[in-house]
Amino acid sequence: MSNRRSYITTAIPYVNGDPHLGFALECVQADVLARHRRLRGEGVRFLSGTDDHALKNVEAAAAAGVPVAEFVDEKAGRFAALREPLELSNDDFIRTSRDPRHRPGVERLWRACVSSGDLYERHYEGLYCTGCEAFLSPGDLLDGLCPEHQRPPEQVAERNWFFRLSRYGDQLLELIESGRLGVEPEQRRNEVVAFIRGGLEDFSVSRSQERAHGWGIPVPEDPSQVIYVWFDALGNYISALGYGTEGELYGQWWERSDERLHVIGKGIIRFHAVYWPAILFSAGEPLPTAILVHDYLTVDGQKLSKSLGATHDPADLATRYGSAALRWWFLRDVPRTGDTDFREERLAARANELADGLGNLINRTITLVDRYRPEGVAQVEPRTEPSLALQALVHRTPGAIDDAFGRYDIRSAAAALWSLVEAANRCVAATRPWELAKAEANGDASSYFDEVLGVLVDACHTLAREFQPFLPAASERIERALVASDPKLGRQLFPKAA
């Protein structure tokens, strides 16, 4: 059992619409990292949740003609309900408008920044994109539109509280360049470094009560203002641990964790890799150790977005194709860099890959055991090339998976695991163990059936164990089928897609 501890979080999405496939990707990526660390005996705490206090949530509620609290509750419930269809293992789920831990944590964080002299008031005018929940410069726009949300920003003029981000440029640069805060992949790290080197400006961390429609956490000692949604939202990572309520989890999982990992999308990297560490510097609190950034999922080249109406319902896809197929598509097809276009036929192909590759291998192995060695499989040291090659890969595969996860390269970890499936199927094709069994029954002393069967069974048990983080429910079914040597269970492992 390892003494190492990891705290792993997803971003918390706005609840201005139903969950989309992009957030499901992030949840599954964080989940497989958490499950892998647990499988290796590490202590893990995994957090997800929803960002309830965004102005875009207020606008969406108004458009629907529903009170904002009621609207947010209904939508947030749909995000929480992804746990079952996506087979998520998060230990906690925080809602920023409802959870009693959150507001005290954000208020403590705010007051800590006040004590450091990093919050001040001034009048401000600028271009504000509600979709981004951020001010934009004219240079950020494309033909006068926000490039992310394809809408013109609003001209805003008001008195706000500001955070002295400009004070922390050197510290942030050293933090990133030294690797004390790892940003993965390297392309995103370089993007953050370039942003910091370009010069940091102080940013607004409050909004008027009027513009926020009274929705949000009031600024301590200034009830005319509401705390900016990003300052509010970023605080969830520590408020969920009792940062503002003297909970014991904060010391265990934030102050003393070996790994504090945020899994996020590329559109919010500035907030997590620049704003958030600066706020923690100011508050005198420990910083995250790593930020894993994924690119976008698209459909016909268009970013999946609640605001733009392009979503795809992950729960519906999991119902129609199976949770295993959806998780496997996320983990097998989405690269470390570059947007990934989603098509249902690709999801169907991964469902069939599981059925034809992994399911068929397990079923054939169980059938061989049931038919020829119901009393048990003999342990025979491999001597022939196909068996030796497969045995060697069985021994190497866990280490290859560990190496890939150590680099936060989830797709390579999935590829290393699938290489073992392919190798085991090649061994079956090369040795034709059913013919070896028949030859043995006919008195052929040169038959090496037990050798091949033993290696195949060993490979299948290794696959059942190593697939736990990737396909948790399916790996349990595989292990039950192997232990029972039941061909019926083996045939029911993975449904084929139509």
Q: Output the CA angle 491-393-43, nearest 5 degrees.
A: 80
Question: Is the pLDDT reported for residue 145 higher than 90?
Answer: no
Q: Is the pLDDT of residue 320 over 90?
A: yes
Is pLDDT of 304 > 70? no
Q: How many CA atoms lie within 13 A of 78 on its CB side?
A: 21
- Tell me the mean pLDDT in the region 131-137: 71
pLDDT at site 305: 61
pLDDT tops 70 at residue 129: yes
What sections of 3-148 are H helices per DSSP? 21-39, 55-64, 68-80, 102-115
Residue 416's Cβ-count burial label (10 Å; 0-12, 13-18, 19+) is buried
Taking the whole predicted model, whether its pTM rises above 0.85 is answered as yes
Structure letter (DSSP) for residue 3: -
Structural domains of the chain sorted by starting position, each given as residue range(s) with its CATH number in brackets: 5-318 (3.40.50.620), 343-491 (1.10.730.10)
For tokens 């570059």, name the residue.
338
Predicted local confidence at residue 465, as pLDDT: 98
DSSP 454-497: HHHHHHHHHHHHHTTTTSHHHHHHHHHHHHHT-HHHHHTSSPPP
Beta carbons within 10 angstroms of residue 25's beta carbon: 27
- Angle, helices 385-406 vs 21-39, to 10°: value is 110
Instruction: Identify whether the C-beta of residue 56 lies closer than 8 Å to the C-beta of residue 210.
Output: no
82-106 tens-digit pLDDT: 999 999 999 999 999 999 999 999 9
Q: How confident is the model at residue 228 (pLDDT cuts 50, 70, 90)?
A: very high
